[in-house]
A and B are shown apart, each in its own frame.
Chain A
Amino acid sequence: MTALSQWTLFFPYAVAFWLFVVGCFGITQSRNLIHTILCLTVVQSSTYMLLMSVDFHAKSGAPIFGSTNPPGSPSVDPILHALTLTDIVVGATVSALMLALTVQIHRRRGTIDPQRLRPMSD
């Protein structure tokens, strides 16, 4: 394996790291709750990226076996896809809850700027 392709194998992990950090950074700079929720989705994309890159094999297909790829031929690991799917469901739940809270906070406070919302500060 050439040095270049070694590095390309690391590339998805670097992207996952970058997404996590940049998403969190986005939240720290956020002045709008909708923006915050989108940043959370960015952070979550890093988990998708990591799970998918763990799974990646250049030469293998989906784990659906038939005449072209008989059972036993190389395929990707379906468990990671199941994990990613569960992760998506979890993320959707939290985003929905947070959007509902955002609507409600806008009704009560008239703003969705997190810097101006503070439950109790000393």
Chain B
Amino acid sequence: MRPAGYVRRRLLLAPVQVAAVASAVFLLAEVLPGDAAVVLAGDDPDPERIARIRESLGLDRPLLTRFAAWAGGLPRGDFGESLVSGRPVLGLVLDALGPTAVLASATLAVLVPLSVWAGVAAALREGGRFDRALTAVGVALYAVPEFALAVVLIVVFGGLLPVTALGGLTPAALVLPVAVLAARPLCSLSRLVRAGMIGALASGYAAQAVRLGVPERRVRYVHVLPNAVTPAVQQLARTVDWLLGGVVIAEAVFVIPGLGTLLVDAVADRDLPVLQGLAVLFAATTVLVNLAADLVAFRLAPRA
């Protein structure tokens, strides 16, 4: 198989996938109890007023008409307008993407080198003190729910570091959220690297290469490591996708106005155009990230 053909096929398929996800989300959101008009009326739910709001939002039109109107705008890059604020969805989503992207990049910059290093170091001394310590710490960190970890970090470091991003996403304000976000994937990634490394080291070809006189370091890092990290690449793709898909809890605790915050607001507001805009964005990122992961995996361990 040639990667170029594969990429072309996957990219052609992508719009179909995105459309399928967007339609599914539209239908799901459509059957949620209540609509934006009820939510907007809030604690003043005068039925007559709700009816007027519904009318002014165009929510009294049939379902298909609304979906068609929304889908019709897509080719022009028009994602519609938020029902609640009236602002263009594209602007809302792009505004929220900024902080999420900053947070994701910072997390990956810490996560990837650290997990590969830890996984390899543990595998090389399998069963050793470092291996056992890494396992224990990793497992414990993985077991702590995200918000519990956040609460603890805030109590401990609250005096030293900003505990919210209210003053902007400065490097100092990123420290705690990145620590919270990296904790869980760090554990799963380093364990996958470790398991893959142990498996690959034990396989025949590593020993064979050493016997043939290839320097041990070269065997480890040029031949074994690429094979060992293949399963981890898929997991990393999921992590990237997760980071870009709105890390709802971390954003809420640390007050980061990113995609996760927008998502929670949009569900609570029944703001369908915003939900659909997010669905399209999330679907597109997932397709691209997975494509990238497949390509990387293909390079590392070509299919026989």
A and B assemble together? no
Interface residues of A, Cβ cutoff 8 Å to B: none
Chain B residues at the A interface, C-beta cutoff of 8 Å: none
